[in-house]
Amino acid sequence: MKKRHSIIFIFLAFLIIYFLTEFKLSLNPYVSFAEARTAHSTVQVKGTLVKESDMITYRNQELTFFLVDEKGNKVPVCYQGTKPDNFEHATEIVVVGRQNGETFSAEKLLIKCPSKYEKRGL
């Protein structure tokens, strides 16, 4: 019976180590665009959208725009996929992806828009 308990304990220990390792690998830290250039994995960059109309293009399921991170770095972002609703009204955008040369290639976009429940000036 003790041998069986030992095998179960070892199996559970390896299972826990495996899940913790996978969890750690799945975390995407918030970084600046400068830090994203040297990152070897997927990262998240939080910033504000440059809203000038000539800075945002959407053609053939490719959205290209400029984002300014919290340190003031302005970088072009390219996202393959459907343009999110209310994209131009975003107060903050989090891009998840990798730096590819001078352009950040986003796999995901997380859009924060003004809440319809916020008090507006009358």
Is 77 a member of any domain? yes
* 78 within domain boundaries: yes
- More reliable by pLDDT, 9 or 21: 9
Cα-Cα-Cα-Cα dihedral sign, residues 50, 117, 96, 88: negative
List phi, psi (to 5°) of 117: -95, -5
The tally of domains found in the chain comes to 1
- CATH code at position 78: 2.40.50.140
pLDDT reported for residue 29? 73
* Within a domain: 15: no
pLDDT 10s digits, 64-114: 999 999 999 999 999 999 998 888 888 899 999 999 989 999 999 999 877
Question: What is residue 54's predicted lDDT score, i.e. its pLDDT?
Answer: 73
Classify 103 as helix, strand or coil: strand
Which pLDDT tens digit goes with each residue over 14-55?
989 888 878 776 676 788 998 989 888 888 999 999 887 677
User: What local confidence, expressed as pLDDT, does residue 103 receive?
Assistant: 94
Largest pairwise CA distance in the chain = 75
Whole-angstrom distance, CA of residue 87 vs CA of residue 1: 62
Q: Is residue 52 part of a domain?
A: yes
